[in-house]
Amino acid sequence: MQTDRRGAAAVTVELIRLGTRASALAMAQSQTVADSLAKASGLPVELVPITTEGDRSKQSLSTLGGTGVFAIGLREALRDGRCDVVVHSLKDLPTAPAEGLMIAGIPKRADARDAVCARDGMTLDTLPPGATVGTGSPRRAAQLRRRRPDLEVVDIRGNVDTRLGKVASGDLDAVMLAAAGLARLGRLEAVTEFCTLDGWPTAPGQGALAIETVAKPDRVVRSAVASIEHRPTRLTVTAEREVLRILEAGCAAPIGAHALLDDGLIFLSARVYSPDGTEHITSAHALYLDDDPRPAETVAAHVARELLSLGAGELVPAGSIS
Ligand SMILES: NCc1[nH]cc(CCC(=O)O)c1CC(=O)O
């Protein structure tokens, strides 16, 4: 039993239970976070596998209702007290705050880029006309159609290994995946091209993790999670996700966003695509961090407002989103 400074008994944990999806990618990123939490707290950290609707369903992510399918099950486990912390891929997390929970820590972001994994070392420029490229992401599909309207985009599901397997087996000529996920799984050797973020902005928060807890966690849990917070990542992903949050109200089109910090400035650029890739709208703004109490939110509001004023809300044909 630990005691606080006044000597009173304080109820606290002797073990941190970290809830995680059981996929190889989720386990890999959860283990990294578990190691950091163990180091920060001096306590053992146990991984608690949790199955979510997103893991069970074989439906396309776009028909499953998109955002949140992976997060809901993890959040239930947190609320039920089955675990003390959960780790999400930030890009899979809905922008709406979860009642009674908080994003207690955001560790340093990994590579935010998308990667092409193609057969025979091919790239987006060298794939032959008609080549098949697998992705389940409407954003990647729009970007592919814009860059190479002559390719065939194939809607696929499944974990990273399954997707790479479709290229290895010859079912597909290429798949598009997040570089961060491939890195966490030790599969970077499959990458034949990294897409640069200025021409190919990725999902808001891609490559970053979010550590979620109940709003009033045990103080040992709270301080362990706080110790792995990376402030620059929190600022940049907050800006990217804020654009998504504002646009969700008036725009159903796919969005790529990329923020970075340099020399006291936050830069944010975001691009909205028509689903067929034929049209896109871009906005970019910068702000001195010292000039604003909430620089991430403010720069995002500028970008989102400009995107909407340029017609981002009209990029999706009426009735085309189920
Ligand atoms: N939606 C699936 C997903 N969610 C998080 C990652 C890994 C990369 C990351 O943490 O952003 C992936 C795989 C992918 O997009 O290739």
Digit-coded pLDDT (tens) for 260-285: 999 999 999 999 999 999 999 999 99
184 lines ligand 1 (CB under 6 A): no
214 near 22, Cβ under 8 Å?
no
Q: Which segment of 6-10, 87-91, 114-118, 197-201 scores lowest on mean pLDDT?
A: 6-10
Residue-wise pLDDT for 192-245, tens only, equals: 999 999 999 999 999 999 999 999 999 999 999 999 999 999 999 999 999 999
98 lines ligand 1 (CB under 6 A): no
Residue-wise pLDDT for 118-139, tens only, equals: 999 999 999 999 999 999 999 9
Per-residue pLDDT, 274: 95
Q: Which residue minimizes the CA distance to atom 10 of ligand 1?
A: 207
Mutate to test the pocket of ligand 1, among 25, 156, 188, 200 (most ligand atoms within 8 A of CB): 25
Q: How far is the CA of 107 from the centre of ligand 1 (A)?
A: 16
Q: Which residue minimizes the CA distance to atom 1 of ligand 1?
A: 92
List the structure tokens of 227: 């110790």
Domain at 16-107+208-229: CATH code: 3.40.190.10
276: closest CA among 133, 135, 127, 138? 138
206 lines ligand 1 (CB under 6 A): yes
Fold classification of 234-314 is Double Stranded RNA Binding Domain (3.30.160)
Decide whether 114-194 matches 234-314 in CATH topology.
no
Q: How far is the CA of 270 from the centre of ligand 1 (A)?
A: 19
Q: How far is the CA of 9 from the centre of ligand 1 (A)?
A: 43
Mutate to test the pocket of ligand 1, among 92, 116, 184 (most ligand atoms within 8 A of CB): 92
Q: Is 291 a catalytic residue?
A: no
**Domain covering 114-194 assigned CATH 3.40.190.10 in the classification:** yes
Q: Does residue 4 or residue 178 have the better pLDDT?
A: 178
Domain ranges of the chain: 16-107+208-229, 114-194, 234-314
Q: How far is the CA of 179 from the centre of ligand 1 (A)?
A: 8
Q: How far is the CA of 308 from the centre of ligand 1 (A)?
A: 27
Q: What is the pTM of this model?
A: 0.91
Strand pairing of 101-105 and 193-194?
unpaired
Q: Which one is catalytic: 35, 55, 92, 155?
A: 92
Distance CA 271, CA 135 (A): 19
C-alpha separations of 278 from 148, 163, 181, 315 in Å: 11, 26, 28, 10
Residue-wise pLDDT for 130-180, tens only, equals: 999 999 999 999 999 999 999 999 999 989 999 999 999 999 999 999 999
Q: Which distant-in-sequence residues (6+ apart) come within 8 Å of 154 by Cβ?
A: 132, 133, 134, 135, 172
Reported ipTM exceeds the 0.90 cut: yes
